[in-house]
């Protein structure tokens, strides 16, 4: 039986090449077309020497496929995707172009008028832990951003179960690959190495995405979220530390409350193949190269606050891996197919 043909639009960025790595090892689909503007005409495995021989040439336009991933930058991604949707293709979009339900958010946060608000209503937010069933029947899946993946997975159980009040602070620490493969002084080795810094203090584009999803989990609450991203000198990984006041009376005092909290999280994620709720603070290193998310919920008893820490690989669970997880759901494959690789430690 012929394998499903899949393609990648813009394979030359880090999300694109990570998709290529995963898909060319995937046992149930065949990567048959990849595009890239400046690299068009080159052999994929010359361009990326770590890939195995696929025989693929990087093309200027996508060839015939059954399902397409778009790893284009936002705004351009929508333009690539709309005609594919028109033709009836299944699409997983790595960009932000179909994540936000409110078209005005695109004007405010991304600086462009969304070209197809109607399609926005049909797109499904591709976080399997929250929208598994909808993803299975979606034509267009909007793959979550890297920071939102870590933040939403850290907070979803607490928000959903009404454990915390609305004052949420999310402090995230990202590796540099999250800033992409395009050249920039900020990500020049000599500038980023041996440095930690915060950025986007005026508001990062992932804030409306985090806010949208947490509000959907607790529609009656009026969340006040501060989200500050930081760059840390490593290639891959996001560690998210989330803080919120615990609602009194929901958890027992002391040690017992911590156990209840851990159990509540474990229960929430009990059927999730890629979520590991752990009893000690996670290390980004333990998720390196894998689709896993490690989560540790804790209580600051002195102040009555919840502190939850999550770790992911921003290019896998935070981008390409999650997109393949979505693809598996769309195609009716076992959700973990092609994603079983364990983290490469140390």
Residues with catalytic roles? 146
Distance (Å, whole) CA 19 – CA 29: 12
Does position 167 interact with a copy of itself (CB under 8 A)? The reply is yes
CB of 184 to a copy of itself, least distance (A): 7
Subset of residues 248 to 267 that bind a copy of itself, contact rule: CB under 8 A: none
Subset of residues 69 to 108 that bind a copy of itself, contact rule: CB under 8 A: none
Number of Cβ within a 10 Å radius of residue 141: 30
With CB under 8 A as the contact rule, the residue among 193, 254, 259, 270 that binds a copy of itself is: 193
With CB under 8 A as the contact rule, the residue among 28, 232, 247, 260 that binds a copy of itself is: 232
With CB under 8 A as the contact rule, the residue among 109, 125, 147, 288 that binds a copy of itself is: 288
Sheet of 124-125, strands arranged across:
58-59, 29-35, 4-9, 67-70, 90-93, 140-142, 124-125
Does position 51 interact with a copy of itself (CB under 8 A)? The reply is yes
Determine contact, residues 126/144, Cβ cutoff 8 Å.
yes
Distance (Å, whole) CA 234 – CA 8: 26
Structure token digits, residue 156: 């979803």
Determine contact, residues 329/323, Cβ cutoff 8 Å.
no
* DSSP-based three-state secondary structure for 319: helix
With CB under 8 A as the contact rule, the residue among 3, 122, 188, 270 that binds a copy of itself is: 188
Distance (Å, whole) CA 193 – CA 187: 9
Choose the stretch contacting a copy of itself; rule: CB under 8 A; options: 116-124, 137-145, 170-178, 317-325.
170-178
Shorter beta-carbon distance to a copy of itself: residue 68 or 192: 192
With CB under 8 A as the contact rule, the residue among 25, 108, 121, 263 that binds a copy of itself is: 25
CB of 59 to a copy of itself, least distance (A): 21
Does position 12 interact with a copy of itself (CB under 8 A)? The reply is no
Of residues 319, 211, 317, 332, the one with CA closest to residue 272: 317
With CB under 8 A as the contact rule, the residue among 30, 73, 243, 257 that binds a copy of itself is: 243
Determine contact, residues 11/60, Cβ cutoff 8 Å.
no
Distance (Å, whole) CA 173 – CA 170: 10
Does position 298 interact with a copy of itself (CB under 8 A)? The reply is yes
Subset of residues 302 to 331 that bind a copy of itself, contact rule: CB under 8 A: 302-305, 307, 309, 311
Shorter beta-carbon distance to a copy of itself: residue 77 or 174: 174
Structure token digits, residue 171: 């402090």
* DSSP-based three-state secondary structure for 169: strand
Structure token digits, residue 272: 């999730």
With CB under 8 A as the contact rule, the residue among 72, 91, 154, 192 that binds a copy of itself is: 192
Shorter beta-carbon distance to a copy of itself: residue 157 or 321: 321
């Amino acid at each position: 039986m012929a394998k499903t043909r899949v393609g990648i639009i813009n394979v030359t960025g880090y999300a694109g090449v990570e998709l290529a790595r995963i898909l060319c090892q995937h046992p149930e689909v065949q990567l048959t077309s990849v595009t890239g503007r400046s690299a068009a005409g080159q052999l994929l495995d010359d361009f990326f020497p770590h890939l195995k021989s696929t025989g693929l040439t990087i093309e200027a336009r996508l060839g015939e496929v059954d399902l397409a991933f778009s790893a284009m930058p936002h705004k351009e991604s929508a333009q690539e995707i709309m005609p594919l949707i028109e033709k009836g293709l299944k699409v997983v979009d790595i960009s932000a172009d179909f994540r936000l339900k409110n078209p005005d958010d695109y004007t405010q946060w991304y600086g462009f008028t969304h070209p197809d608000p109607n399609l926005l209503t049909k797109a499904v937010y591709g976080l399997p832990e929250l929208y598994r069933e909808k993803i299975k029947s979606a034509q267009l899946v909007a793959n979550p951003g890297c920071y939102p993946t870590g933040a939403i997975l850290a907070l979803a159980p607490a928000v959903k179960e009404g454990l915390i009040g609305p004052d949420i602070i999310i402090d995230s620490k990202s590796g540099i690959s999250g800033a992409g493969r395009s050249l920039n002084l900020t990500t020049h080795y000599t500038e980023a190495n041996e440095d930690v810094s915060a950025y986007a203090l005026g508001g990062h584009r992932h804030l409306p995405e985090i806010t949208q999803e947490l509000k959907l989990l607790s529609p009656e609450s009026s969340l006040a979220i501060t989200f500050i991203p930081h760059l840390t000198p490593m290639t891959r990984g996001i560690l998210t530390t989330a803080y919120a006041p615990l609602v009194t009376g929901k958890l027992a005092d002391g040690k017992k409350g911590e156990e209840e909290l851990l159990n509540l999280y474990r229960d929430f994620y009990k059927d999730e193949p890629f979520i590991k709720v752990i009893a000690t603070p996670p290390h980004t290193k333990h998720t390196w190269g894998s689709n896993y998310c490690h989560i540790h919920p804790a209580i600051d008893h002195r102040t009555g606050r919840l502190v939850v820490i999550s770790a992911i690989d921003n290019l896998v669970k935070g981008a390409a891996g999650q997109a393949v997880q979505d693809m598996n759901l769309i195609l009716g494959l076992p959700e973990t197919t092609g994603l079983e690789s364990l983290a490469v430690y140390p």
